[in-house]
Amino acid sequence: CSIRHYKFNVVLRNTTRLCSSKPIVTVNGRFPGPTIYAREDDNVLVKVVNHVKYNVSIHWHGIRQLRTGWADGPAYITQCPIQPGQSYVYNFTITGQRGTLLWHAHILWLRATVHGAIVILPKLGVPYPFPKPHKEEVVILGEWWKSDVETVINQAVKSGLAPNISDAHTINGHPGPVSSCLSQGGFNLPVEPGKTYMLRIINAALNEELFFKIAGHKLTVVEVDATYVKPFKTDTILVAPGQTTNVLITADLGTGKYLVAASPFMDAPIAVDNMTATATLHYSGTVSTTSTTLTTPPPKNATPVATKFMDSLRSLNSKKYPAKVPLTIGHSLLFTISLGVNPCRTCVNGSRVVAGLNNVTFVMPTTALLQAHFSKISGVFTDDFPGNPLMPYNYTGTQPTNFQTMKGTRLYRLAYNSTVQLILQDTGMITPENHPIHLHGFNFFAVGRGLGNFNPKKDPKNFNLVDPVERNTIGVPSAGWVAIRFRADNPGVWFMHCHLEVHTTWGLKMAFVVDNGKGPNESLLPPPSDLPKC
Ligand code: C2O
C-alpha cells in the first residue's frame, strides 16, 4: 500500500450556469471538485486550506475511519471547523473498502458546490468480480441554485419554513439545455461501439433522490456505496443523496447519440420539484448534427420503479466478499422519523418546521462532540437518546395532534463491538416522506423493509440475514420502515442523519458514541496536533 497526498484549496470561483453567473465555494476552483484516487489499504492525506470567509470542514462520506474519527469531518461532531485562513490535514487509511464514494463539505449548505468523487481501486493485482470495463467514468449528480445557497438556507432558517428548491439538477456540473437557458451544453459521454464502460454514479445533490437512465441502454448494477452487489440489469437506477452506484453499460447500438437523464424521485404529496438534468452518450464517429434518441424519465412519484430497484439489491456474498451480517442483537432500537412545528421567537411566523428522531430535535453543540468524549468534557452532550419511542403511537395512521419535539444534544451509547439492530420508522407527522438516512463510521446491512408500522412479532421472520445489501445510506420508504444491522466495531462519535440537507437543518440527526474496547487496537487514536479549535 502507498501514501496518497492531496491538497484542497477552498476558494471562490465565479461560475456560470443557467445563463447567469455567481461566485461559488469550490475546491481548487473546480465544480464538481477533484477526484481522490486511492487503492484499498492506502493511507490518504488531504491538506485542506481554507481561503474563503466561511468555516469549512470536509467529510469523506462512506470511508469507515476505523479509529480515526478525527478525520471524519462533520463540523461540531468530530471536529471544530477549519476557520478562514486555517488548514487541517485529514489523515486516514482505507481499510477493507473498494469502490466509489464521495467527499463533501459538512457544514452549513456548502456541500452544494463543495463535493467530488472518491475512487478506491482494489488492491494491486486483485481484479473486479466482474469483467474489466474498457473505461471508467465518474458521473456526479447535483443541483444548482441561481442565488447564493447560503442565503437560501439563511432565509429559510429565519422564516421557519422550507427553503427554495434548486433551479436545476446537474450531471457532472451541467444541467443540459433547459427552457430558461437553451444555449448551455450538457455533459458529453463519448463511447466506442462494442465496448463496455463502468459509470461511477454519485448523488451529491442536497435535497433530491434521483432516478438515472440512458436512452436505449441497459445498466448492469455491480456495486453500491463501495460494496459489491450481485449484478442485475435495469433501465433505471435510483440514487439518494450520499449514495453511489456503479453500473456497467455496453455500447451495443453501434452509432448515434442517446439522452442521459437524471430526474427527481419524490413521493411526498407536497413535492414540487420536477426538473430533469440531461447529458449525452455519444458514439464515436457519430456526426454532431445527428438527433439525440430521447428517453422519458420515470415520473417523480414512481414509487414502484424505486421499490423494484431497491428490492433487486443484494450483497455479492461470495467466498471472497462474504456478507458478515450480525446474527445476534445486542441493542434493539427503533427510531421514528417525524417532522413537526415548534415555537420560534426569532421566526417570522412565530413557529418553525422541525424534524426529529424519536421526537428529539438534535441541537448542534458549539464544540466538537468527539473532543468532548475523548477529553471527558462534561456538559457538551448527554447519552440519554431514547432507543425506542417514549410514547409509541400509530406511526403511519392517525397522528397525535402535538407536533412539538424535544430538543437536546442527546447521544446513544453503544458498547464496543456490540451488535445493533435499528428500525428506522417513517411517520405521517405533517407528511410521510422518503428519507435517505446516512450513518457515519459504519456500513450496515439492510435486512428488512416494509410499508406501514414495523411489526416486531411478524416482520423479523422475513428478514434477509443471508445476502442483504450493505451500504452507508438507505432510503426509508414513505410511511414505511427499514431494518438495519451493524457491529459497533469503531470507537468514537458517529453522526447519523437524513442526507436531505433541508431535513438535517431541521434537526433530523443524532449521534452514537461507541466506547473503546479492551484490546490494543480497539481504541480511538489520539487527536492529530493540527485538529482545528472552536
Ligand atoms: Cu454525506 Cu454526514 O454526510
Residues with Cβ within 8 Å of 29's Cβ and at least 6 positions away in sequence, in order, are 9, 11, 13
Q: pLDDT band at 27, cuts 50/70/90? A: very high
> Which of 234-248, 337-351, 364-378, 446-460 comes out lowest in average pLDDT?
337-351
Query: What ipTM goes with this model?
Result: 0.99
Q: pLDDT band at 271, cuts 50/70/90? A: low
Residues with Cβ within 8 Å of 396's Cβ and at least 6 positions away in sequence, in order, are 426, 427, 428, 432, 451, 452, 453, 479, 480
Cβ proximity of 117 and 100 under 8 Å: yes
Q: Which atom of ligand 1 is nearest to the CA of 504?
A: 2
Q: Which atom of ligand 1 is nearest to the CA of 111?
A: 1
Q: What is the pLDDT of residue 430?
A: 85
Stretch 402-421: mean pLDDT, rounded?
94
Q: Which atom of ligand 1 is nearest to the CA of 440?
A: 2
Q: What is the pLDDT of residue 270?
A: 67
Distance 146 CA to ligand 1 centre (A): 24
* Residue in the block written with cell 404529496: 269
Q: CB of 257 closer than 6 A to ligand 1? A: no
Query: What's the maximum distance between 2 C-alpha atoms anywhere in the chain?
Result: 67
Label residue 182 left, alpha or beta by phi (over 0 means left) and psi (-120 to 50 means alpha). alpha
Please count the other Cβ atoms lying within 10 Å of the Cβ belonging to residue 163. 21
Q: Which grid coordinates are listed for 514?
A: 461507541
Cβ proximity of 120 and 101 under 8 Å: yes
Q: Which atom of ligand 1 is nearest to the CA of 241?
A: 1
Q: Which atom of ligand 1 is nearest to the CA of 104?
A: 1
First-residue to last-residue Cα distance in the chain: 35
Distance, CA of 79 to CA of 69 (rounded, Å): 9
> Which of 88-92, 261-265, 402-406 comes out lowest in average pLDDT?
402-406
The secondary element (H helix, E strand) that includes residue 236 is strand 236-239
Q: CB of 352 closer than 6 A to ligand 1? A: no
Q: What is the pLDDT of residue 172?
A: 98
Percent of the chain residues topping a pLDDT of 70: 99
Average pLDDT, the chain: 96
Cβ proximity of 329 and 419 under 8 Å: yes
Distance, CA of 286 to CA of 284 (rounded, Å): 6
- Residues 296-317: b if buried by 16+ CB within 10 A, e if exposed: ebbebbbbebbbebbeebbbbb
Q: Which residues, listed in sequence order, are joined to residue 419 by a DSSP beta bridge? A: 487
Per-domain boundaries in the chain: 1-125, 130-315, 331-514
Q: Does residue 481 carry a pLDDT above 90?
A: yes
Q: CB of 106 closer than 6 A to ligand 1? A: yes
Residue type for position 97: Q
Q: CB of 74 closer than 6 A to ligand 1? A: yes
Q: What is the pLDDT of residue 471?
A: 98
Q: Which atom of ligand 1 is nearest to the CA of 61?
A: 1
Q: Which residues, listed in sequence order, are joined to residue 85 by a DSSP beta bridge? A: none
The secondary element (H helix, E strand) that includes residue 373 is helix 369-374
Q: CB of 76 closer than 6 A to ligand 1? A: no
CATH 3.40.50.1820 fits 331-514, yes or no: no
Distance 195 CA to ligand 1 centre (A): 35
Cβ proximity of 393 and 425 under 8 Å: no
Closest CA to 20 of 110, 177, 145, 171: 145
Please count the other Cβ atoms lying within 10 Å of the Cβ belonging to residue 243. 28
The secondary element (H helix, E strand) that includes residue 487 is strand 480-487
Provide the 8-state DSSP code for 525.
Answer: P
Q: CB of 61 closer than 6 A to ligand 1? A: yes
Distance 150 CA to ligand 1 centre (A): 18
How remote is the C-alpha of 173 from its chain's centroid? 17
Distance 498 CA to ligand 1 centre (A): 8
Residue type for position 383: D
The CA–CA distances, whole Å, from 117 to 362, 382, 386 equal 29, 35, 35
Q: What is the pLDDT of residue 431?
A: 84
Q: Does residue 404 carry a pLDDT above 90?
A: no
Question: What number does CATH give the domain 1-125?
Answer: 2.60.40.420
Residue nearest to atom 3 of ligand 1 (CA): 61
Closest CA to 430 of 498, 515, 342, 527: 342
Distance 364 CA to ligand 1 centre (A): 15
Asked if omega into 231 is within 30° of 0 (cis), the reply is no
Distance 319 CA to ligand 1 centre (A): 31
Q: Does residue 1 carry a pLDDT above 80?
A: no
Distance 79 CA to ligand 1 centre (A): 14
* Residue in the block written with cell 452487489: 229
Distance, CA of 114 to CA of 31 (rounded, Å): 7
Distance 201 CA to ligand 1 centre (A): 17
- Cα–Cα–Cα angle for 291, 293, 296, rounded to 5 degrees: 135
Q: CB of 495 closer than 6 A to ligand 1? A: yes
Q: CB of 440 closer than 6 A to ligand 1? A: yes
Q: What is the pLDDT of residues 288-301, one digit of tens each?
A: 899 999 999 999 99
- Residue count of the chain, please give it: 534
Q: Which atom of ligand 1 is nearest to the CA of 74?
A: 2
Q: CB of 242 closer than 6 A to ligand 1? A: yes
Cβ proximity of 358 and 386 under 8 Å: yes
Q: Does 130-315 match 331-514 in CATH topology?
A: yes
Q: Does residue 390 carry a pLDDT above 80?
A: yes
Q: What is the pLDDT of residue 416?
A: 98
Q: Which atom of ligand 1 is nearest to the CA of 242?
A: 1
Residues with Cβ within 8 Å of 72's Cβ and at least 6 positions away in sequence, in order, are 59, 60, 63, 65, 78, 79, 370, 440, 441, 492, 494, 495
The secondary element (H helix, E strand) that includes residue 305 is helix 303-312
The CA–CA distances, whole Å, from 122 to 41, 77, 156, 184 equal 9, 30, 43, 37
Closest CA to 102 of 212, 244, 3: 244
Q: What is the pLDDT of residue 107?
A: 97
Stretch 410-415: mean pLDDT, rounded?
98
Q: CB of 111 closer than 6 A to ligand 1? A: no
Distance 271 CA to ligand 1 centre (A): 23
- In CATH terms, 130-315 corresponds, of 2.40.10.120, 3.40.47.10, 2.60.40.420, 3.30.2130.30, to 2.60.40.420
Q: CB of 59 closer than 6 A to ligand 1? A: yes
Q: Which atom of ligand 1 is nearest to the CA of 495?
A: 2
Cβ proximity of 132 and 76 under 8 Å: no
Q: CB of 115 closer than 6 A to ligand 1? A: no
Distance, CA of 327 to CA of 481 (rounded, Å): 20
Stretch 215-233: mean pLDDT, rounded?
98
Stretch 236-261: mean pLDDT, rounded?
98
Q: Does residue 449 carry a pLDDT above 80?
A: yes
Q: What is the pLDDT of residue 470?
A: 98
Please count the other Cβ atoms lying within 10 Å of the Cβ belonging to residue 206. 25
Q: What is the pLDDT of residue 402?
A: 72
The CA–CA distances, whole Å, from 438 to 69, 70, 109, 126, 429 equal 16, 18, 16, 29, 21
Distance 509 CA to ligand 1 centre (A): 11
Distance 504 CA to ligand 1 centre (A): 10
- The 435-439 sheet, strands edge to edge: 411-414, 509-514, 492-498, 435-439, 473-476
